Structure 1
Amino acid sequence: MAKPATPFVLTPSDHATLQDWTQQESLAKRLGPRARILLTLADGFTPKEVCDQLHISPPVVFKWRKRFLEAGLEGLNDRPRSGQPRKLSSQKVKEILTLTTQRVPREATHWSVRLMAKYAAVTAWQVRQAWAASDFKPHHCKTLKISNDPHFADKLVDVVGLYLKPPDNAIVLSINEHTPVQPRDRTQSKLPFPANVYTAFDTLTCQAIGQLTQRRRTQALLAFFQHIDSAVSPELNLHVILDNSSAHKTPAIKQWLEQHSRFKLYVAPTSASWLNAVEDWLAQLERRAQYQGVFSSVAELKASIRQLLEVDNVLSAKPSHWIQTPEPLFSSVHKAVGDRQ
């Protein structure tokens, strides 16, 4: 006659812990199944019935029951594997950090995990650990180009002033040209006739007016000003922020502006495109309309950009408010200058 199985009993504390493990998704692949085995045994089921209910083999049931009886809840954790894991010496960590900060790889403009692992003769995992410990992210660019514009301060105050307190009965538009936008079929290296995208970004509503053109810069900018003039209510004045290009200084543009007095231009400082609010929108344009797109013609590319403009204005544009005063921006620039010196 077979000896009756010894009842499997859990203390209330262990039962509560095991029950909690079965409900935690992060533990589902490791401790969760082991906890279910013990909880089912504690409910009075035999090992064979546990196997049938949980669809596991008898050795698995006996293994985790034995481990629990020997070491309690700690026995359910994985035991250390044989062999000692590779460790990074302080000298090797120093070598990785020195390479990261003082050298550039021959194969690229910056370090990647695989390149550093190759140069330092370590594993990719060890490179990640060394970089994470020092908060190094070589693929992230944290540089700031310092403007040498002699009128930087005045221009900064003017532009930020428009953002902080837009004039009454007026619209503040941030304008820039994204050029050239190249249609590309991934089976071909290049297609002819790149298109330029002019965008006027309403800094208050975050809606955009766009126009695609293949004309020369002065002609294209003049045509875009005319497009804005017809698209915006004639009752509103237009305060326009431009980058520091020469297109708006041509005689044709100057003459047109004299005839349309509601346009008032503000030029962003040299090497300070970060101050022009439309730049972020143009970056989104590149990510959302071009990076994954396949365009066999300029017409297809233009249709994609026009669709993005229409959809973005309806679904994504939300009113925004600039809150940064000029003083902290001056401090950041002065600090950057001091760090370089």
Structure 2
Amino acid sequence: MLQKSPASSTPSPSRSLQTRRLLDHEFDFNCRLEDSFHQDSAGLTPKQVSERLEVSAPVVFKWRKGYPEGLDGLKDLPRSEAPRTLSEAKAKEILTLTTQRVTRGATHWSLRLTAKYAKVSIWQVAQVWAAADLKPHRLKTFRISKDPDFADKVVNVVGLYMDPPDNAMVLSVDGKTQIQALDRTQPMLPLKPGQVERRTHDYKRHGTASLYAAFDILTGKAIGRITQRHRAKEFLGFLRQIDRSTHAELDLHVILDNSSIHKAAAVKVWLAKHPRFKLHFTPTSASWMNVVEGWFAQLERRALYRDAFTSVADLIAAIRGFIDVHNEHSAKPFRWSKIAKSIISSVNRAKLSAVRNKLLK
């Protein structure tokens, strides 16, 4: 007589209940995973369970929290009904509230605050804002140039970027002043698995240095000069360095901002004796048109912001190291994509908007 296999033995009442529920068409796939969790999670960590059942760790924690109540404790709570559709009038009310009225005690509207005042759900406010492309939480800076020669200067500078002259170099030149050599009051805690790099919030100052840089748009390489002060004398020294560092037969088109240092009498005298230097000035309040500013941002982000310097000498070494590595490994031709007409139109629209809102005379 054949012996019954263990699989055919009479199941326990608890097992029968689980089997009946698994066969119930209203008990969905999530519940089958929950049953599997009961069978497989004994002695395993949440991470092991999540990997074994191919679910996320939060799901495992949710199941374990409901485990003492059995399968009923693991069921999802009843779903809410579909959100109510807002009327057009209510949507307009939310838009008006967000754009024209600022609540007392706050500078801008949040989702929660707007929902409270409009007596709607946070989700509904989010939908109205998304449809209207409203982002009250964001803030950008701007400054409209009042340069009377704005259009001519934009055309000139953009023309140099997009169509550089033959037998010439186009150099974007500016200075980054008062770079601080900052050290932390305690040693930094290094990056490791499970821990981000950390540093103290306070710091020690060890002096400053200034940097002049010329960014070659055709190669992406930079010429740098580090100084202790930022005067016409130091700027002249940098122009001489550029003169020595470039081929003598090339014209040098130098794009600058409107700093008084760049227009000093001594600078004008020197330029008159070196006619291959041709200066082009960006419009006032438009330093963003000088592409070396983007290179300065890379320097700050990659070499300065997260480092600690015990002296000005350490700071200078870091700046020089960044310039060397950039020129050897990271330099690439710069591509300016926005045409002059588009820039001029955009600024004119901003001026018109400012006048309409009585922000500009």
Same-fold call, TM cutoff 0.5: yes
CA contact (8 A) 1:112 1:139 kept: no
Q: Which residue of 1 aligns with 2:191?
A: none
Q: Which residue of 2 aligns with 1:175?
A: 173
CA contact (8 A) 2:170 2:253 kept: yes
Residue 70 of structure 2 corresponds to residue 63 of structure 1? yes
Q: 1:169 to 1:133 in 2, by over 3 A?
A: same
CA contact (8 A) 2:108 2:136 kept: no
Q: 1:104 to 1:244 in 2, by over 3 A?
A: farther
Q: Which residue of 2 aligns with 1:36?
A: 33
Q: Which residue of 2 aligns with 1:151?
A: 149
**Structure 1 unpaired stretches of 5+:** 19-30, 42-46, 68-74, 82-88
Per-residue CA deviation, residues 134-189 of structure 1 (Å, 9 max, x unaligned), is 34344531x42111112111111110000110111221111111111122234476
Q: Which residue of 1 aligns with 2:244?
A: 230
Q: 1:35 to 1:98 in 2, by over 3 A?
A: same
Q: 1:328 to 1:298 in 2, by over 3 A?
A: same
CA contact (8 A) 1:96 1:127 kept: no
| Partner amino acid, structure 2, of 1:77 | D
Q: 1:129 to 1:52 in 2, by over 3 A?
A: same
* Shift, 1:328, TM fit: 0.8
Residue 139 of structure 2 corresponds to residue 140 of structure 1? yes
Map 1:8-87; keep pairs closer than 5 Å.
18=29, 35-38=32-35, 40=36, 50=40, 52=42, 60=67, 63-64=70-71, 76-79=75-78
Map 1:210-225; keep pairs closer than 5 Å.
210-225=224-239
Map 1:274-313; keep pairs closer than 5 Å.
274-313=288-327
Q: 1:60 to 1:130 in 2, by over 3 A?
A: same
Structure 1 counterpart of 2:159, from 152, 158, 161: 161
2: CA distance, partners of 1:319 / 1:231: 18
1: CA distance, partners of 2:234 / 2:263: 14
What secondary structure is seen at the aligned counterpart in 1 of 2:280?
Answer: strand
| Partner amino acid, structure 1, of 2:242 | I
Q: 1:317 to 1:216 in 2, by over 3 A?
A: closer
Q: Which residue of 2 aligns with 1:268?
A: 282
Residue 282 of structure 2 corresponds to residue 257 of structure 1? no
2: CA distance, partners of 1:168 / 1:312: 26
Residue 247 of structure 2 corresponds to residue 240 of structure 1? no
* Shift, 1:132, TM fit: 8.7
Q: 1:321 to 1:219 in 2, by over 3 A?
A: same
Q: TM-score, normalization: structure 2?
A: 0.65
Q: Which residue of 1 aligns with 2:332?
A: 318
What secondary structure is seen at the aligned counterpart in 2 of 1:167?
Answer: coil
Pairwise CA RMSD of aligned residues? Answer: 4.4
Structure 2 counterpart of 1:185, from 179, 183, 186: 183
CA contact (8 A) 1:148 1:270 kept: yes
Residue 352 of structure 2 corresponds to residue 335 of structure 1? no
Q: How many residues align?
A: 292
2: CA distance, partners of 1:319 / 1:230: 22
Identity of aligned residues (%): 39
